[in-house]
Amino acid sequence: MNLAMTLMTNSFSMSGIASRIEALNDSKVLCACLMHSLSKNFHT
């Protein structure tokens, strides 16, 4: 019973970390897109 609970919590924390990493990558991409469009606007 305890082992199953440990495995469950471990998998939950792993998926939580993975989703956090995905969110970080998404925000990096968003920032890059924003900076790109901003620099385009400044040049024109």
pLDDT computed for residue 28 by the predictor: 92
Burial class (CB in 10 A: 0-12, 13-18, 19+), 8: exposed
Query: How far is residue 21's CA from residue 44's CA, in Å, rounded to a whole number?
Result: 35
Cα separation, 35 vs 41, in Å, equals 10
For the chain, what are the domain ranges? Answer: 1-44
User: 1-44, pLDDT tens digit by residue?
Assistant: 688 878 778 777 778 888 888 888 999 998 898 899 888 887 66
The pLDDT of residue 44 is 60
Instruction: Specify the pLDDT at position 1.
Output: 62
